[in-house]
Amino acid sequence: AMVATSVFAVLGLVFVVRQAEAMLAQRSVQALSRTGFLSPARSFGKRVRRRAPVKASAGEIGDEVRVRFAPSPTGSLHVGGARTALFNWLMARGSGGKFIIRIEDTDQARSTKESEESMLDDLRWLKLDWDEGPGVGGDYGPYRQSERGEIYQEMAQKLLESGHAYPCFCTEEELEAKRQEAEEKGEAVMYDGTWRDADPAEVEKKLAAGEPHTIRFKVPSGAKVSIDDIVRGVVTWDAEATVGDFILLRSNGVPVYNFCVAVDDALMKITHVVRAEEHLTNTLRQGLILEALGIPMPRYAHCSLILGEDRSKLSKRHGATSVDQFRRQGFLREAMINYLAALGWNDGTDQEVYSVEEVTEAFSLGRVVKAPSMFDMAKLKWVNGQHLRSV
């Protein structure tokens, strides 16, 4: 009787342990599903959206997602830029993260306040509200690059002191001569490092004399930059063979685009950079700068271009291409969100008409495709018609 009692006790204990393990496993699956690392299975007799994993975390699961849309205010908000803003906004809203607007206006010759206001007005019409940026503020401002000059000077000084940058006293004439010589020899046009390892005494002498100079980044020998792009997969560059020591600050002290972007993404704690594929090559320089500053690179997602119906890059010659033009033509905001989201993304179902709430729930960077998307005006009109019927 005692043996039987002991056996039943052991069996009971095993049952309790297994029940506990099953409950723990179920909770783990639920937790992973919430993070997007597991996709829901398809139920019999009921269509359930199958979503790809977002691959979203730049750090530990649970880190706050921080994404940004960073337009240059040199014209109207193009539908390509609007789609980039939308993808970032959807990622932030779908993850409980932050959507940041940063104005990249270092090109003062082309940037205008009117263009900035026009772009922001278009975003407001689309109701792509931002958590930090112009008119809102935030902990990591200013949010216009033209107002962040001291920050860039500070970071350039930091790179100089750590040996990752150096003053270059080459004149424009000297650089042009080097460029022509390289082209004549059929060689890649890259800076030859004339001042890379210059005598410190000579450098100090020129600095003391106030001679004009740029600040160049010192590309490490044998350096490679590799990213696991959420859209394009693994991309690797041989930095030394691809770029020479590139400029960070021009001779007038104005910072170059890639330096500003790298510094801003770092200091604004951006976790994911979602942008057009034309910026893919910029990632090399930005990655080198971030590594030199000792700051982890964000996750990248480079989205393919939007093409016109003739398969060339969408431009004004294809007709309306700006958000404001479509707004003036009477297109609904909901239809624009629906159509722009579908340019390069789908949720794995046959659904074509979505509410903004449905898109926000279903969106995943893991389902953004590599192939370019064609802007189909007839399809946009059809989508707009579907939304008009539901008003």
Mean pLDDT of 149-176: 97
Judge whether 367 lies within some domain: yes
With b for 16 or more beta-carbon neighbours within 10 A and e for fewer, the 181-209 pattern comes to ebeeeeeeebbeeebeeeeeeebeebeee
Judge whether 366 lies within some domain: yes
Number of independent structural domains in the chain: 1
pLDDT at 104 exceeding the cut of 80 = yes
Catalytic residue, candidates 316, 370, 379, 381: 316
Judge whether 338 lies within some domain: yes
Query: Taking the model in full, what pTM does it have?
Result: 0.82
Judge whether 175 lies within some domain: no
Judge whether 357 lies within some domain: yes
Residues 330 and 306: beta-carbon distance below 8 Å: no
Residues 230 and 345: beta-carbon distance below 8 Å: no
Domain hosting 342: range is 308-389
Judge whether 69 lies within some domain: no
Residue 217's SS3 state is strand
pLDDT at 232 exceeding the cut of 50 = yes
Q: Give the Cα separation of 184 and 237 in Å (integer).
A: 25
What rounded mean pLDDT belongs to the chain? 85
- Band (pLDDT 50/70/90 cuts) for residue 319 is low
Judge whether 115 lies within some domain: no
Q: Which of 59-63, 88-92, 148-152 shows the lowest per-residue confidence on average (mean pLDDT)? A: 59-63
Is residue 185 part of the annotated active site? The answer reads no
Domain of 320, CATH number, reads: 1.10.1160.10
Judge whether 43 lies within some domain: no
pLDDT at 282 exceeding the cut of 50 = yes
φ and ψ at residue 101, rounded to 5 degrees? -105, 125
